[in-house]
Amino acid sequence: MRRELPDRLPVDMLWPRSETIRDLKNHFGTDSMDVVKEKLGVDFVWSGVKAEFSEFKKKCNGMLTGDTPGAGNSYIFHDKITFEDEWGIIHRVGAEGKYLEWVGGPLVGKETLEGWQLPVTKWASVEDTRKAYEKYQDKIIIAGINNPYKIAWHICGYENFMLLMALNPDFVKELYTHLFAWETERAVIAAKAGADIVALVGDVAGVNGPMFSLGMWDDFLKPGFQKLIKAVKEANPSTYIFFHSDGELASMIPAFIDTGIEILNPVESNCMDPALLKKKFGEKVAFHGAISVQKTIPNGTVADVKNEVYTRIKTVGYNGGYMVSNENSFPYDAPLKNILAMYEAVADFNYDSLR
């Protein structure tokens, strides 16, 4: 973050799927992901603030199983593959049982918040969260929270919410007031507990560009994010602000920086040039990610993976300000040897060559 080249660039493992976790545990002969990450040299731990949804839990009637994201958690099942979460958002398990599909939300077709409320939530205390972080004293702790935009469109439906942003801005601002307050509360708990990074997670772009205009960012999201960031910094000035969004969002980076974002992830190399972004913005924002999970990790050779890591270190991490990571979850069928190669390359790189 200080733009100083360390002995080795830090490396992360972003949101591993259950298939990846099983393969890595089998490879290293352990039941512990902490052991796996130690073997790989992973420097980060993703650990948020625990929440209890007591009213929702009373209504739950089953647990999601298999390899689908969210498996192991209880939900309100409408049928064997369709279920409702604590937000009232309805999901369906996809045909292969690997992914979730959005089905509906409590504000679809609505133009007021009448009858809707936030989930009844009890957050873990600062002290309990601090205790959970204590065993990771030698790691960089990232506490993830949701980008309110992501929650909003899941509650309202994507197309409907886009229309609301254009035609009913008062509704959108009222909804965001509630969502930002909810997310700010847990972000502040994480910061007070000692989280090194608070990560704001939720896509605002696709491969062809942003999902909405910079004007809408300024009108709807920037004020809420600035208040959230201010609250985090007041709680813990040393906590950094991380923003995750897939997609081609180079045009939005100046707005992100102006909002107070300090680390950008995943720097999706399928649609942006990480080296160019480093040259343009590297003095004002750090980068996390940039190792392709769409091309190189699933489809390349071990040599391809290592060469991509070496290239990123040379062109993005030459003066620090870069955390090596997969851009998103490793695909469930990605070759294990390619996943291992990413971490081997970070460890093997000749950092003296950059000095």
Percent of the chain at pLDDT exceeding 70 = 100
Average pLDDT over residues 331-349: 98
pLDDT at 355: 86
pLDDT at 5: 85
Dihedral angle of Cα 31, 35, 37, 43, to the nearest 10 degrees: 140
Q: How far apart (Å, rounded) are the C-alpha atoms in residues 42 and 162? A: 38
Taking CA atoms, 257 is separated from 230, 267, 275, 291, 337, in Å, by 14, 14, 18, 22, 37
**Residues comprising the chain, all counted:** 355
Q: How far apart (Å, rounded) are the C-alpha atoms in residues 47 and 49? A: 7
- Specify the DSSP element, H or E, that contains 114: none
The token pair at 222 is 């920037």
CATH number listed for the domain at residues 18-52+111-354:
3.20.20.210
pLDDT at 296: 98
Mapped onto helix, strand or coil, the DSSP state of residue 144 is strand
Q: How far apart (Å, rounded) are the C-alpha atoms in residues 156 and 167? A: 14
- Amino acid at the residue 12: D
Contacts of 14 (CB under 8 A, 6+ apart): 265, 266, 289, 325, 326, 327, 328, 329
Average pLDDT over residues 210-230: 98
pLDDT at 107: 98
Q: Are 246 and 205 in contact (CB under 8 A)?
A: yes
pLDDT over 90 (residue 99): yes
What sections of the chain are H helices per DSSP? 18-28, 33-40, 54-59, 126-134, 148-156, 158-167, 169-193, 214-216, 222-235, 253-259, 274-281, 296-299, 302-315, 336-348
For residue 326, what are the β-bridge partners? Answer: 291
pLDDT at 3: 81
Q: How far apart (Å, rounded) are the C-alpha atoms in residues 270 and 268? A: 5
Which pLDDT band, with edges at 50, 70 and 90, does 224 fall under? very high
User: Domain residues of the chain, as ranges?
Assistant: 18-52+111-354, 53-110
pLDDT at 158: 97
pLDDT at 1: 80
Q: Are 340 and 348 in contact (CB under 8 A)?
A: no
Average pLDDT over residues 319-329: 97
Tens of pLDDT, residue by residue over 109-166, are 999 999 999 999 999 999 999 999 999 999 999 999 999 999 999 999 999 999 999 9
Neighbour tally for 36: CB within 10 Å: 20
